[in-house]
Structure 1
């Protein structure tokens, strides 16, 4: 007969130590404490209806469609209902703090850095041989081959090959600096002369430049970035004052 296994809090903490996760967990704890202190200082309050809506969103995100689903999820993660409410509260207070601190900074930040949020619709083939890449580039320019022909023959990834090297809309931040410089000075539709990077020699066709607009997605990105910078500064200042008591 198999012997029953008992797991204690000490066992769990020891496993956390052995997995070398303590620095990561400590950082998360410090972050939560910083957020709570800043929210209290700012006088941010949470209304009951806000808490309920936030809880519903979290349940929806975890596909907890019934009370039974919720209880099973709580048991799986060793959480009580009070723990769940605290998670909801922490997430909501963080969101309201972000808005309180940075909502009025989003537009100025966007207009100062809007080139970072530009996008490009592009196709790409990466060749290992520079001479071959130049040969293919001129063959496409002179109409001896199409970009699709080159992509179909030289791209190894099956799905990308089927799409003819189509990468979709790529943001400026996702591109290597040397590629970004060439792509965003192109006049679409334009085939760009091969660019050498550490990944190989890139043959790129620029279909369209997408001018940046301050939509909700970019607004969220900026808020997240500003909040991350603020958190790093706050936690860095507290690093020397940190005391671990366990």
Structure 2
């Protein structure tokens, strides 16, 4: 029989405090309060049917396909059914607020920034020696060796080596700036001349540049990015004060705004 170890709410709060997690916790709580206040001011409402749909989506996202799965999940996270409904409601209100604020701005933002959403299919080997990188670069150009052979010889990570240095589909922000500039200026398929960064000497084969399309997935990504940036600006307008009572000592934790703008 397992031994029982009792942990109180006071223990939890103390653990959060001594592990320096209070600032991130305050920011998360403040963010939720901002969302609820802004939604109230905007007149955003939700009906029971919408909350039920949001709850179903939450169950699906957490793979809670059976009733017992849901009960086990609630027990694991110490949530009641009311708590679960509240989580679903907050998610729904956040989504509605994001659409209210930026739903009609997504398309314009996409066309103004579509280069940032282009994708590149690349293969990469990072070397320590610039001279070796140049030697391999010219050997590739002359057809004396192929990129997969270089990957098998010079990549140490087994999975990456087996994939021939394949990096998947990356967007501009996924690359270092100096590499992004070179990659998205290519006319694929094309081998880039070695690029030196702090990580080493990059030998990169650009297989394809994928033009961005504003599908539902990308629309959701842009909407989320705009909403996140807006929330960050909102947070900077506030001085967040938390009143903590640990070990019977009244203490105040404060997050100061990063700008002097008043709330």
Classify the TM-score, shorter chain. Answer: over 0.9
SS at match of 2:91: helix
Aligned to 1:182: 182
Aligned to 2:109: 109
Aligned to 1:42: 42
Q: RMSD of the alignment, in Å?
A: 1.7
SS at match of 2:25: helix
* Paired positions, count: 244
For residues 91-130 of structure 1, the aligned pairs below 5 Å read: 91-130=91-130
Q: Deviations over 1:84-143 (max 9, x none)?
A: 111111111001111111001101111111111111111111111001110111111112
Q: Deviations over 1:57-92 (max 9, x none)?
A: 111222222333222222222222211111111111
For residues 214-225 of structure 1, the aligned pairs below 5 Å read: 214-225=214-225
CA distance in 2, matches of 1:68, 1:145: 57
Q: Deviations over 1:38-59 (max 9, x none)?
A: 0011111111111111111111
Distance apart, 1:3 and its partner CA = 8.0
Aligned to 1:245: 243
Deviates more, 1:213-222 or 1:127-136: 213-222
Distance apart, 1:6 and its partner CA = 3.7
Aligned to 2:75: 75
Distance apart, 1:34 and its partner CA = 0.3
Deviates more, 1:67-76 or 1:47-56: 67-76
For residues 59-208 of structure 1, the aligned pairs below 5 Å read: 59-208=59-208
SS at match of 1:205: strand
Consecutive aligned runs of 4 or more in structure 1 exceeding 4 Å deviation: 1-5
TM-score (norm 2): 0.87
CA distance in 2, matches of 1:125, 1:38: 48
Cα distance change, pair 135–43 in 1 and its aligned pair in 2 (3 A):
same
Cα distance change, pair 3–51 in 1 and its aligned pair in 2 (3 A):
closer
Cα distance change, pair 60–179 in 1 and its aligned pair in 2 (3 A):
same
SS at match of 2:104: helix
Looking at secondary structure, tell me which structure has more helix per residue. 1
CA distance in 2, matches of 1:156, 1:179: 22
SS at match of 1:213: coil
CA distance in 1, matches of 2:94, 2:151: 46
Q: Which runs of 5+ in 1 are unaligned?
A: none
